[in-house]
Amino acid sequence: MKDKILGIFPLDWRYDITSLPYVRSVLKSRWVPFLIIVFNLFFFTIILMAGVVGGVSAGNYNFAIMFVWILWWVMLMLVFVPFFSRIWCSTCPLPAFGEWIQRLGFLKVRNKLFGLNRKWPKQLKNMWLMNFLFLGTTYTTGFLTTRPIATFILLMAIILGSVVLSTVFERRSFCLYCCPVSGFQGLYSNIAMTEIRCKDPEVCRNHNVSTRAKALGCDYQQRDCVRGNENGYACPWLEVPFNQNRRNTYCGMCFECFKTCPYDNMAFNLRPPATDLVLDKKRGLDEAWKAFMMLGIAIFFFLIMQGPFGFLKDWANAKTLAGYLSYISVHSTFNLLIFPGIFFVFSYASHALGRTELPLKRVFINFSYTLVPLGLMAWIAFSVGIIFANGSYLIHVISDPFGWGWNLLGTANFPWTPFMTGMVPYMQIGGLLLGLALSLDIGFKIARQTFKNRDEAVMGFYPIAAFLTVTTMFLMWLFTG
Amino acid sequence: MKNGKLILLIIIFVLLTSLSLTLAQPEAPREREITIEAYKFAYNPEIIEVNQGDKVTIRFISTDVHHGLYIDGYELKTDAIPGHEGEITFVANKTGKFTMRCSVTCGAFHPYMISYLKVKPDYRLFGSILLALILFLSSIVLMVRKER
Ligand code: SF4
Ligand code: SF4
Ligand code: SF4
Ligand SMILES: [Cu+2]
C-alpha cells in the first residue's frame, strides 16, 4: 500500500509546474530571478533609509519596522515557506552584492568566480552557527520590532556579512551557514508544498559524461548542473540538483539548474506537504535543536508581544540591565535546555517502550522532526495574531515611509483599524490542530522507519504522540484560552 | 492485546473529562465594575475574568500618558489620559479569551500593550482540547489498525 500524508495525499504525488506553458522558459531566462531581486533591492533601500531617517520613536509608525516585521516576517511564515519553500531566498536582495561581486557581473555567466572561494569549514557545515546567531537575534527582539535603527543594523549586518564572506568562501556559504533567517526557512521548508528536483532520474543517469570521469568515480561532478556551463552557474547552494534523495533545506531555489541542464530535466514540483520530513537522510542534532528552539521562541515571542505581563516586556525592552539579563538567561535556558530536555524524556520513554536496538540518540533525532509542522503552525498562529490586529499600520506608513509628513497614496491618516480580531482565535486553533494532525501523521511514519517491527513501532509512537498532543493543547491554551 | 486495553483506558479517560467539562455549570450573571489602570506598557490587572452574561463596566484610568483600550471580538474602545477616565459598559455575552490592546500610540512597545478579558466558561478552549484528544486517539487507533 502506498503511503499517504494525512491519509489523503500519496507521498509520491507530484505536479510539475514547468509543464505549464511559458513557465520553463521564464525560469530559464537569466532575467529571472534577477529582475525581482532588483525590485526587492529598491524596496529594501527604502526600508534601510526608513530605518535611519524615519525616526519616529514608536515602531508602529515606521516603514522599516512595519514592512520587515509585520509584512515580510508574516509572509515568510504564512505564505512563502509553507507553500513555496525558500522562494524568498530566490528573490532576496540582501546577499545580492556578494553574489554580484563573485560573478563580477549581473547577467552574463562567468563560471570562474572572483574571490578566494575557500571551502566552508567542515565542522560548521550544519545549522549550529545559525541556531546561535538566530538565538542571539531574538535577544534583541525588543529593539528590533520597536526601534527602526535596530532593524537597519540587522539588515546591514546581513548585507555586509554576505559581502565579506562571499569574497572569502565559495558561493553562497553565507546563506547556507550564517544568515540568521536561513535556518528556520531551511527547516520549515521541509513542509513546503513545492520542491525543485530532477524530472526523470533516468535522464540524469544517462547524461553523457566522459568514461574517464565515470571510471574515476567523480562523474557526478561533471554534470552540467553541478559544474555549471555557459548558460548558468554551478549550483550556488552547493546542492547536487539531480539528487532525488535531498530535502528542501539547503536549496535556495535560485533556478540556476534550470538554466544549466541541457536536457530540461529539472522540475518545479507541487507536492503534498511535509514529504521531506519522512525522508530518512541526513537528519541531525543541529536541525533537531532548530526545531526545539523555533517552537520555544514562538512561545516567548507570544508572551512578550501578545501576552499581558508587563514585567516580561520590560525585560525584553531592557528597562533595567538585571531584567534584560534575566530575559536572556531564561529565554536561552528554556530554548536550549529545558524544552529539548522535556522532549528527551519522551524520546527516552519511546526508546524504552519500543525496545529498539537503535541508539537513543537516533530515536531522539528522528522524532524531533515531528515538531516541524507543529512549530510552523505555532508561528502561523503567532503571525495571524499580529497581522490582523496591526496590519492597518502598513496602510499608514506606505504613504509616509520616512515620517516626513508625506501623503503619497492619500492614506497617511488612515487610523489604526483592527481587522477580524474576533476570528483570530479560531484561525489559531484551526492552524494548531492542522499542525497536530500533520505532526502525528509524520510521527507515525517516522515510528515505522525507526522501529523495524510493528508492535515496537506502535509502542514507541505512544509517548511521542502524547508529547505532541499535550504541546498542542498548551499552545491552544496559551494563544486563545 | 496490550494495545487494545491501553486505547480503551484512554477512551474512558477522554469521555470522563469531556463529561465533566460539559457538566460544568456556568455561574449566574451579575453586574461588575472593574477598574483597569494603564501604564507604559501594560495594564493592571493583567487579566480580568467575568462570567458569561455579566454586565461589565470597565473604569479605565491612565497613570502616565494617553492610552487606549480596545477589546478584540467585542470591538469596543475607550481611552484615558491622567485625570480623565474612560469607561466601557457591555454585556459579556461572547465567551472565551479576548485580547484588550492599547489603541493610542504611546511609545515603543505600544503595539504590545495588552491585557486579557476572559469570559467564562470557555467553551472554545474545551472544544479545541477535545478535538486535540480526538486527533490523538484517531492517530493511535489508525496506527494500531494499520500495523495489524
Ligand atoms: S539565506 Fe538569508 S541572506 Fe541568503 S537569500 Fe536567504 S534570507 Fe537572504
Ligand atoms: S544536467 Fe540535467 S540531466 Fe544532467 S544530471 Fe543535471 S539535471 Fe540531470
Ligand atoms: S541550482 Fe541548486 S539551489 Fe538553485 S534551484 Fe537548483 S538545486 Fe536549488
Ligand atoms: Cu498605550
Residue among B24, B58, B26 nearest B44 (CA): B58
A15 found inside a domain: no
CA separation, residue B53 to residues B56, B99, B119 (Å): 9, 18, 9
pLDDT score recorded for residue B1: 46
Q: Which whole number is the average pLDDT over A213-224?
A: 68
Interface of A with B in 219-278 (CB under 8 A): none
pLDDT at B5 over 70: no
A144 found inside a domain: yes
More confident residue, A170 or A57: A170
pLDDT score recorded for residue B23: 59
pLDDT at A1 over 50: no
pLDDT score recorded for residue A363: 92
- CA dist B53 and B58 (Å) reads 15
Shortest-distance atom of ligand 2 to CA A264: 2
Could you give the 3-state DSSP secondary structure of residue A151? Answer: helix
Nearest to B109 among A146, A421, A473 (CB): A146
pLDDT digits (tens, 9 = 90+) for A389-431: 888 888 888 888 877 778 888 877 788 888 888 899 999 999 9
Closest residue to atom 7 of ligand 3, CA basis: A241
Interface of B with A in 4-23 (CB under 8 A): 6
Interface of A with B in 139-168 (CB under 8 A): 142, 146-147
Shortest-distance atom of ligand 3 to CA A241: 7
pLDDT score recorded for residue A51: 83
A254 found inside a domain: no
A447: its cell numbers: 515510528
Q: Which whole number is the average pLDDT over B3-20?
A: 67
Phi/psi at B32 (nearest 5 deg)?
A: -135, 140
Nearest to A389 among B101, B118, B147 (CB): B101
- CA dist B36 and B114 (Å) reads 12
pLDDT at B2 over 60: no
pLDDT digits (tens, 9 = 90+) for B69-121: 999 999 999 999 999 999 999 999 999 999 999 999 888 888 899 999 999 99
pLDDT score recorded for residue B78: 94
- CA dist B60 and A363 (Å) reads 54
Which of the 8 DSSP states describes residue B40? Answer: T
Domain span at A88: 31-189+276-480
A9 found inside a domain: no
Q: Which chain B residue is nearest to residue A445, measuring alpha carbons?
A: B143
A110 found inside a domain: yes
Cβ contact, residue pair A440, B94, below 8 Å: no
Shortest-distance atom of ligand 3 to CA A237: 3
Closest residue to atom 3 of ligand 2, CA basis: A204
Q: Which residues pair with A118 in a beta bridge?
A: A169
Domain count for chain A, please give it: 1
Determine whether the shortest distance from the Cβ of A242 to ligand 2 is under 6 A.
Answer: yes
> In this structure, which CATH number among 3.30.1360.200, 2.60.40.420, 3.40.50.720, 3.40.50.300 belongs to the domain B31-121?
2.60.40.420
Residues with Cβ < 8 Å from A442, sequence gap 6 or more?
A274, A277, A278, A369, A370, A372, A373
A72 found inside a domain: yes
**ipTM of this complex:** 0.90
pLDDT digits (tens, 9 = 90+) for A226-240: 988 889 999 999 999
Write out the residues surrounding ion ligand 4, Cβ under 5 A. Answer: B 67, 102, 106, 113
A195 found inside a domain: no
Q: How many residues appear in chain A?
A: 481
- Tell me the average pLDDT of chain A: 90
pLDDT at A97 over 70: yes
- CA dist A433 and B127 (Å) reads 12
Q: Are A93 and A180 in contact (CB under 8 A)?
A: no
Q: What are the residue boundaries of the structural domains of chain B, listed by start?
A: 3-26+125-147, 31-121
CA separation, residue A149 to residues A296, A387, B47, B78, B113 (Å): 27, 22, 33, 32, 21
Share of chain A above pLDDT 90, in %: 63
pLDDT digits (tens, 9 = 90+) for A336-351: 999 999 999 999 999 9
Which residues in chain B touch residue A317, judged by CB atoms under 8 angstroms apart?
41, 108-109
pLDDT at A335 over 90: yes
pLDDT score recorded for residue A59: 63
